[in-house]
């Protein structure tokens, strides 16, 4: 059983970090405010002429940088929304891609995220002043009140009118006030301030986090746009990968089994004609045809390795990967941990097997390796990680036209990512990460197994 700290104890644990954040917020935000406000006013004032727009654009860009710093600071004391993806959105004031020098200079003006970050720079300064004053006043008063017995003799009793009234109520307005009532009341008051100090810090910090959430988080329209772009990119990659796979399979069948089957057909036809007159020759042709039929069968089996084998449908991906390792030409070991994958694994297992099969085939053909390691792990983050390591000569490329380029397109079609490390001399490591669909029906989800 895990012992979790009580809420109040956790508030005290976070108090030093929050206090430091609130105390340093004033000087940090003051710098941004003093720099941005004059530049913003000057840029707006000169915007009627061409000089003002570049100055205004650089000002909001500076506001974007200051907002990024503020967001990182806020993340140290609490949770903040995900940062916006600065790679998408309008790249120029008129939309589209900035191509000319003028559009590139003024592009920050067309990005609402820069304006939101600049607005945060302006709005956070008065908030920082208020929270700084509250933090310092509360903390200093608490310390002063708790330590009052040590320095209270420096304050005249005539100043404590309210304490004199308290003492009068208990029958003494002189010595009792100075020696007992005043120190006791001040210490109790200080203790109350100390007890509530972490709660005050929590509230003051929450105000900064709330402002950061309003202005420094990712906009909903940007999130939707990014999702649409990823979906479109994945759809296009899936189509290209599927077409390339089908073309490659068609070419392999045409150049291999089809030609061998035609030769087999001719030999059998010749043997049939020779049967009545030249039986020994016909027997030799039939024997050769039998050997050729075995070779064709082996070729077809090799071509179908990238497709779904029966063991994949009967026993699942884990058994198919181990079988792939056992059948590999290069000695191969497999580490498979798919127990936490969930039912969504069935929607991508054919594609996962095809990807691993192609990687193992590439190693056998090009890497000149002596050993291969396969790893298939379903992580707690909902992703399937496929890794292939070999001790070959390295130098694998991701250039267009190479096999790994088509494989990357296939992975992107599954909304995944592929990375490769292959220095000259080896070793080579290929890592594929594919998100596992949640609550997917494997019979209805399209795959890229071919």
Q: Are 422 and 415 in contact (CB under 8 A)?
A: no
Residue pointed to by tokens 């405010």: 33
Half-sphere exposure of 78 (CA within 13 A, CB side): 24
- Write the CB contacts of 166 (distance below 8 Å, at least 6 apart in sequence): 177, 181, 185
Predicted pLDDT at 133: 94
Helix (H) or strand (E) holding 429: strand 428-435
Predicted pLDDT at 299: 65
Predicted pLDDT at 341: 73
List the 372-378 sheet strands across, edge first: 332-337, 372-378, 383-390, 428-435, 417-421
Per-10-residue mean pLDDT, the chain, length 450? 65 89 91 89 80 83 87 84 57 43 72 83 91 92 84 58 50 51 80 91 91 77 62 62 62 67 70 68 72 69 59 79 84 85 77 84 82 85 86 75 69 81 85 78 45
Residue ranges of alpha helices (H) inside 256-402 are 257-274, 279-303, 310-315, 317-327, 349-362
* Residue 170 CB coordination number (10 Å): 11
Predicted pLDDT at 444: 44
Predicted pLDDT at 150: 79
Q: How many whole angstroms separate alpha carbon 35 and alpha carbon 122?
A: 10
Q: Which of 122, 116, 127, 126 is nearest to 217 (CA)?
A: 116
Q: How many whole angstroms separate alpha carbon 73 and alpha carbon 224?
A: 27
**The model scores a pTM over 0.85:** no
Residue pointed to by tokens 């003799």: 153
By the 10 Å C-beta count (0-12 exposed, 13-18 middle, 19+ buried), 432 is classed as: buried
- Write the CB contacts of 256 (distance below 8 Å, at least 6 apart in sequence): 299, 303
């Amino acid at each position: 059983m895990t012992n979790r700290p009580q809420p109040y104890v956790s508030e005290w644990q976070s108090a030093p970090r929050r206090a430091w954040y609130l105390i340093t917020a004033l000087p940090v935000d003051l710098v941004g405010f003093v720099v941005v406000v004059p530049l913003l006013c000057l840029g707006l004032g000169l915007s009627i002429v061409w000089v003002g727009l570049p100055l205004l654009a650089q000002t909001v860009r500076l506001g974007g940088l200051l907002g990024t710093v503020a967001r990182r600071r806020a993340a140290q004391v609490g949770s903040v929304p995900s940062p916006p993806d600065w790679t998408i959105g309008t790249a120029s004031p008129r939309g589209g891609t900035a191509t000319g020098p003028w559009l590139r200079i003024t592009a920050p003006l067309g990005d609402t995220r820069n304006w939101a970050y600049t607005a945060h720079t302006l709005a956070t300064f008065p908030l920082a002043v208020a929270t700084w004053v509250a933090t310092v006043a509360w903390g200093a008063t608490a310390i002063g009140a708790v330590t009052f017995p040590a320095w209270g003799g420096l304050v005249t009793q005539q100043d404590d009118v309210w304490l004199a009234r308290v003492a009068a109520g208990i029958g003494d307005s002189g010595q009792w006030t100075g020696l007992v009532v005043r120190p006791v009341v001040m210490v109790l008051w200080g203790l109350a301030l100390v007890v509530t100090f972490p709660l005050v810090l929590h509230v003051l910090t929450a105000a900064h986090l709330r402002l950061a959430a309003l202005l420094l988080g990712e906009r909903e329209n940007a999130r939707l746009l990014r999702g649409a772009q990823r979906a479109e990119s994945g759809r296009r990659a899936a189509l290209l990968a599927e077409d390339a796979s089908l073309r490659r399979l068609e070419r392999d069948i045409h150049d291999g089994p089809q030609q061998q089957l035609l030769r087999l057909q001719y030999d059998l036809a010749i043997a049939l004609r020779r049967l009545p007159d030249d039986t020994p020759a016909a027997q030799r042709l039939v024997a050769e045809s039998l050997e050729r039929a075995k070779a064709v069968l082996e070729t077809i089996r090799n071509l179908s390795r990238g497709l779904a084998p029966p063991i994949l449908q009967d026993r699942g991906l884990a058994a198919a990967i181990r079988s792939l390792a056992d059948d590999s030409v290069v000695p191969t070991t497999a580490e498979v941990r798919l127990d936490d994958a969930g039912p969504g694994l069935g929607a991508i297992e054919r594609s996962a097997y095809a990807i691993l099969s192609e990687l193992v085939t590439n190693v056998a053909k090009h890497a000149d390796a002596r050993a291969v390691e396969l790893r298939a792990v379903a992580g707690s983050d909902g992703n399937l990680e496929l890794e292939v390591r070999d001790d070959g000569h390295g130098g694998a490329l991701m250039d267009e036209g190479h096999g790994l380029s088509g494989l990357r397109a296939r992975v992107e079609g599954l909304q995944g990512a592929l990375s490769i490390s292959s220095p000259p001399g080896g070793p080579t490591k290929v890592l594929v990460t594919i998100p596992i669909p949640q609550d997917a029906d494997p019979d209805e989800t399209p795959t890229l197994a071919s």
